[in-house]
Structure 1
Amino acid sequence: MTGPLRPEFREGQVLAAADLAATVAYARATAVRHARLAHDWGIADGLALTTESRTDPATGARYVEVSVQAGLAVDGTGRELVVPAPVVLSEADFAAVNGADRATTEPYPVFLTAADRGRPATGPASCAGSSGPTRVEESFQVLFRRLGDERLVADQQPPAVNAAPAAPPVQWLVLLGFVQWTAGHFTAAFPTARGVGPRYLGVRADTVSARSGSLALRTRPAVQEGKPALVLSDADAPTLVYGLYKGTGVVDPLLTVESNGNLTIAGSFSGRISAGSVLATSGSATDGVVLPLPAGVTPEEVADGRVSLHVHVTPRIPSTATGSALTSPAEATVDGDRRVRCRIRVYDPTAAPAQVFEQPGVVDFLVLATVAATGGGG
């Protein structure tokens, strides 16, 4: 088993074509191994499908002209696919693959793949009389496939670690998007369909470091207002901030972790409560109302005993319209469904005859949710 072979030269050596080709091949192999093994393959920049409205002069029907925008992708073999300028998709090429299908609104996948094209020799003919190409254009080809073939992307297997740079006819499919076909024309383009979309270039690393003292992780290549970002910084004091970009490009913090461990959040906190903790909620409720659970506590946790509830209610004694009536609480309880039962007894001694009646009342409540602390390791 041998490793990569690096060409070496010496004074007076007669260089054959194979020697020069080996120099180029060594550099190519180094580059593709890095791209294949240190990165996840996919689209690096551009290559979006865009549309322009058109009208069929024969039928007057409206359709769209679909183009692949300029950009760069790296396929799973480590090869760069460079599209230097926008390319209009060929309706004839699409019809040759899918034109016989029954009419459907389902979008068809569009792929990009590598293609080598030899270029003729330049300059005077060689002594050996060879007239073969002296340049190879590392070009590309846009392919149309059948409905559902977008799933083939996930089945592609990269070459071995020590494999030489792959050359056509080895084909690696890079999904660009989808097109809709109606009555002999493209009528729409979509970035995703059937839960599948383009794959974008990634990096494989256990350490990512910043030279400026601030490292930002965001969901878009450019800063956009309202989009999320995670910023790790040691500019003034070490902090970790999650928030949304403002129009000025500054992150508006929603969650901040300071160097001393203090946590500051702009919204509410919810989630499963940990052992030994207590959550509470309070307020007022009328007779017949079901008391709410503290935020972060679910009815299922209460039902299966993971969380214990402690409820305290205090009846409110309402003021009366006249000073002669006397009021007192007749009942202030909560049943197993957390439903309030509150009755207020009213006695008016000045009425003829004296009246005693009950009416619905209001309670102030406090609900505590607790989880027992484990003793030693449970």
Structure 2
Amino acid sequence: MTGPLRPAFHEGQVLAAADLSATVEYARAGAARHARHLHEWGIVEGLGLATEPRTDPLTGVRHVEVSVSAGIAVDGTGREVVVTEPVVLRESDFEEVNGADQSTDEPYPVFLTAADREPAQLPGPVSCSGSATKTRVEESYQILFGRRGDERLAAEQQPPAIGAPPADPPARWLVLLGYVHWADGHFSGVETTARGVAARFAGVRADTVSARSGALTLRTGTEAEEGKPALVVSGGDRPTLVFGLYQGGGAVAPLMTVAANGNLTIEGSFSGRMPAGSTLVTSGTATDGMLLPLPSGITPEQVADGRVVIHAHLTPRTPPLGGTTLYSPVEATVDGDRRVRCRVRLYDPLKATPEVVEQPGAVDFLVLATVAPTNGGG
């Protein structure tokens, strides 16, 4: 088994067509191997399905014209597929594949594949001898419609062997662009995902991603958009890991920050599944009639179905008193709805007409939420 053959030349060598072709093929094969094994195949740029409203002049039926925007894809063989300008999809091409189907709301897949063609116009003389032999190949494309369910064929495609050259037509690799809806003899809409399969975008295979600027940003779009999430790893004197949302100026407002010493700062609440026997606590002050709050991360549903057991401890608070006023708590309880019942009695024996006054009171509370053990223990 030999490795890739790199063309080599020397002075006085007579260059045959095969020598020049080998020079081109060597570069193409290297680029294809790079794209095939260092990247995930799919849409690189553009190639979205766009719609324009239309009306059938004969029937008056409203429908849409569907076009594929200009863009680039790399297929699973490592071949680059370039669409230089928008392409309107032809309804006749769709009907050739799916015209016999009954009416359905299910969308149909749209694929892009590479295709070699002879150029419409050659760039200069064909050859010095005037031969009609072609000297250029147009690396073109073809847009295909599939039947419902054919989108799964794209995921089942197998890449060529490690050392294989670029796969030229008639070998075909399908890149899923999206889906079209069909109704009343026309396109009626588009989708990017159907039956659990979405249009596929190119990716990268890497165990290490390094940043030259000292900060590495991961975001969900090609541009920084306000309100969209981002993950930023910063080095320098104060290394941090920040998850947040983009602001209008492009800065990331932190929602969660991990400092170099391991300290975690979050802007919202923290919740998660607690193991059996775990306890969460909250405390504060409540007045008569108030509902005691639950610890953060505990929901009323967890309490109602017995997954969490609530324990509450109340301590009556002494109200502001005059110099000779006596105070005694009458009631300091909490009912099954976590509502506080607190009453106090006040009595001043030195008043001209002493009397006992009963009024609502306040308590300091401590609420403990314990995760109940499961039937299996632990």
TM-score, reference length from structure 2? 0.81
Matched with 2:206 is 205
Matched with 1:365 is 365
Does residue 125 of structure 2 align to residue 123 of structure 1?
A: yes
Matched with 1:255 is 256
Q: Distance in 2 between matches of 1:257 and 1:275?
A: 28
Shift of residue 94, structure 1, vs aligned partner: 0.6
**Contact residue 312 and residue 365 of structure 1 kept, 8 A:** yes
Q: Greater CA deviation, 165-174 or 190-199?
A: 190-199
Does residue 196 of structure 2 align to residue 223 of structure 1?
A: no
Q: Distance in 2 between matches of 1:104 and 1:296?
A: 45
- After superposition, the CA RMSD in angstroms is 4.0
**Contact residue 5 and residue 26 of structure 2 kept, 8 A:** yes
Q: Distance in 2 between matches of 1:314 and 1:363?
A: 5
Q: How does 1:310-329 map to 2 (within 5 A)?
A: 311-315=312-316
Q: Distance in 2 between matches of 1:159 and 1:298?
A: 54
Q: Distance in 2 between matches of 1:241 and 1:343?
A: 46
After superposition, the Cα gap between the structure-2 partners of 1:288 and 1:83, relative to the gap in structure 1 and judged at 3 Å, is same
Matched with 2:141 is 140
Matched with 1:105 is 105
Q: How does 1:237-316 map to 2 (within 5 A)?
A: 237-272=238-273, 279-283=280-284, 293-297=294-298, 311-315=312-316
Matched with 1:12 is 12
**Contact residue 77 and residue 158 of structure 1 kept, 8 A:** yes
SS of the aligned residue for 2:18 comes to helix
Matched with 1:352 is none
After superposition, the Cα gap between the structure-2 partners of 1:70 and 1:51, relative to the gap in structure 1 and judged at 3 Å, is same
Q: Distance in 1 between matches of 2:93 and 2:238?
A: 59
TM-score, reference length from structure 1? 0.81
AA aligned to 1:246 is Q
Matched with 2:77 is 77
Give the gaps of 5 or more residues in structure 2: 321-325, 348-355, 372-377
Q: Distance in 2 between matches of 1:64 and 1:296?
A: 49
After superposition, the Cα gap between the structure-2 partners of 1:277 and 1:117, relative to the gap in structure 1 and judged at 3 Å, is same
SS of the aligned residue for 1:212 comes to coil
AA aligned to 1:242 is F
Q: How does 1:41-56 map to 2 (within 5 A)?
A: 41-56=41-56
Matched with 1:323 is none
CA deviation map 1:14-44 (0-9, x unaligned): 2222221111111111000000100111111
Q: Distance in 1 between matches of 2:361 and 2:261?
A: 49
Shift of residue 368, structure 1, vs aligned partner: 3.2
Q: Greater CA deviation, 82-91 or 240-249?
A: 240-249
CA deviation map 1:204-256 (0-9, x unaligned): 11111122222211111011110011112235632222111111111112122
SS of the aligned residue for 1:135 comes to coil
SS of the aligned residue for 1:82 comes to strand
Q: How does 1:82-101 map to 2 (within 5 A)?
A: 82-101=82-101
Q: Distance in 1 between matches of 2:191 and 2:50?
A: 9
After superposition, the Cα gap between the structure-2 partners of 1:285 and 1:100, relative to the gap in structure 1 and judged at 3 Å, is farther
Q: Distance in 2 between matches of 1:46 and 1:265?
A: 37
Shift of residue 81, structure 1, vs aligned partner: 0.8
CA deviation map 1:258-278 (0-9, x unaligned): 333333222222234589986
**Contact residue 126 and residue 134 of structure 2 kept, 8 A:** no
After superposition, the Cα gap between the structure-2 partners of 1:136 and 1:212, relative to the gap in structure 1 and judged at 3 Å, is same
Q: Distance in 1 between matches of 2:103 and 2:306?
A: 58
**Contact residue 43 and residue 72 of structure 2 kept, 8 A:** yes
Q: How does 1:154-169 map to 2 (within 5 A)?
A: 154-169=155-170
CA deviation map 1:113-156 (0-9, x unaligned): 111113487525565x8533221111111100111221222111
Q: Distance in 1 between matches of 2:166 and 2:175?
A: 17
Matched with 2:350 is none
Q: Distance in 2 between matches of 1:263 and 1:346?
A: 47
Does residue 80 of structure 2 align to residue 67 of structure 1?
A: no
AA aligned to 1:76 is G
**Contact residue 178 and residue 192 of structure 2 kept, 8 A:** yes
AA aligned to 1:175 is L
AA aligned to 1:265 is I
